[in-house]
A and B are shown apart, each in its own frame.
Chain A
Amino acid sequence: MSDGMRVDLKETARAIGEQVAGPNAADVDATGRFPAESIEAFRDAGLLRALISVEEGGLGASVDEVAEAVAELGRWCSSSGMILAMHSIQVACLVRHGDSAAFSDYRRRVADEGLLLASATTEIGIGGDVRSSTCAVEADGDSFSLRKQAPVISYGEYADAILATARRTPESAASDQVLVVCEKDAYTLERTTEWNALGFRGTCSSGFVLDAHGNFDHVFATPYGDMSSQTMLPVSHILWSSLWLGMASEADARARRFVQGAARKTPGVVPPSALRLAELALTMQELHDLVHGARSRFRAADEDPDLGASIGYATSMNSLKVAASGLLIEAIQKALLICGMAGYANASPFTLGRLLRDAYGAQLMVNNDRINANNAQLLLVQRER
């Protein structure tokens, strides 16, 4: 594909946001339903296969380009954007770690059939530590079976495949994990909890018992620990924080329109809220530069595997998540003070309620306390930043 024919993912996402995700966002939130029309639009526009190479039927896009698309969607429907982010994290694992012919074939199928991929990394009984599993891959000739009690599988009921972590064998240690692609026609999901949450209501992140079977060629050879540090963790934090940047940008835009509207009524007098807008601009710049700095660090780690394997890289990606999730809430809170009751009202062009409710999820999805505790330990031996 020549550069001239490249799909502009940001522009594609903006159009989907404006025409599909945005107009449905209030209903998705009110009823807690899966934003099927957004996902259909992603599929039609190629967003679900963006990270897959052109040779295998995808768009050959970079994580950076997908991050731009996810950020754009954050302005229209956080749940739709989060689903694209979570799906893309799974595709990134397939692209960066699926070296076999079987995984190449599977990527072609993801691209051709527009498959939606979900994730089951947490497990009941492990206390939220995704680097440890109780369930195990059980071999039976060329086949495997896997039964996992997952407290959360976002959009599990709507996915075409679920990438699940498990111990490599029933004899393996809890930390000796592999990632397994479980396909919909070979698993059952028994729902154990209902998703009725404060925000991100369209992600439909219910709990399930996953009972899966499949061919062993759907088990990644690379240890999950390596996939986690090289791909799952940095790509997650980059795409999530990009979504948060988009959400904060929308709140910032509403606050700016509010202040500028007031200014037009009193030319010559700077409205008092303009000072708060200047404060909001500081937060927005911090968040923007934090996210873009992390993206450039991720690109650098792709060029230099030693950087990617360093403790400094791991702590910086952890810090990205903790800092960005906090700045998101700070930004929307400042926007709310600027817009006042017009921001507090649900039916108002300046409404911030849904964005604020969604924003509070950011610090909880992989709890910031857990990430800080992880960094606290790594900093005991880290030498340079």
Chain B
Amino acid sequence: MEETIRKVLGDYAKLPVDITAVDRNADLYALGLTSHASVNVMLGLEDAFDVEFPDALLRKDTFQSIADIADALSGLVDSASV
């Protein structure tokens, strides 16, 4: 899952760093993630994992780090497969 998350971030987050080398707990906003880019990341993740982020998850801290994104997606992917 994290590999796909990193791919989406690489495509849409527009960070001035190599996303494959970013620590999973690193603060993406400190690395330069803008609210504008985070919307594109959300759209990219929804397409890649065939999920829809509910309102409760559409907030800044959901996308704070790769680990946070993975946590949020795990819940969504699990509930989708139930």
Q: Which residues of B contact A306 (CB under 8 A)?
A: 56, 59
**A380 to B39, Cβ gap below 8 A?**
yes
Instruction: Judge if A119 is at the interface, Cβ distance under 8 Å.
Output: no
**B60 to A225, Cβ gap below 8 A?**
yes
A-binding segment of B1-9, B18-26, B29-37, B73-81: B29-37
* Alpha-carbon gap, A173 to B59, bound state (A): 20
Q: Which of B30, B34, B53, B59 contacts A309 (CB 8 A)?
A: B59
Q: B54 — nearest CB in chain A belongs to which residue? A: A383
Q: Which of A131, A173, A310 contacts B30 (CB 8 A)?
A: A173
Q: Which residues of B contact A132 (CB under 8 A)?
A: 34
**B32 to A173, Cβ gap below 8 A?**
yes
**A225 to B58, Cβ gap below 8 A?**
no
Q: B42 — nearest CB in chain A belongs to which residue? A: A381
Total count of chain A residues near the partner, CB < 8 A: 25
Q: B15 — nearest CB in chain A belongs to which residue? A: A173
10 contacts between A and B (CB under 8 A): A173-B16, A173-B31, A173-B32, A174-B32, A175-B32, A306-B59, A309-B59, A311-B59, A312-B55, A380-B43
Q: Which of A116-160 contact B (CB under 8 A)?
A: 131-132
| Also in contact, A176 and B32, with CB within 8 A (given A377-B39, A381-B39, A381-B43) | yes
Instruction: Judge if A378 is at the interface, Cβ distance under 8 Å.
Output: yes
Nearest 3 pairs of A and B residues by beta carbon:
A173-B32, A175-B34, A309-B59
Q: How far is the CB of B20 from chain A (nearest CB, A)?
A: 18
Q: Which residues of A contact B33 (CB under 8 A)?
A: 175
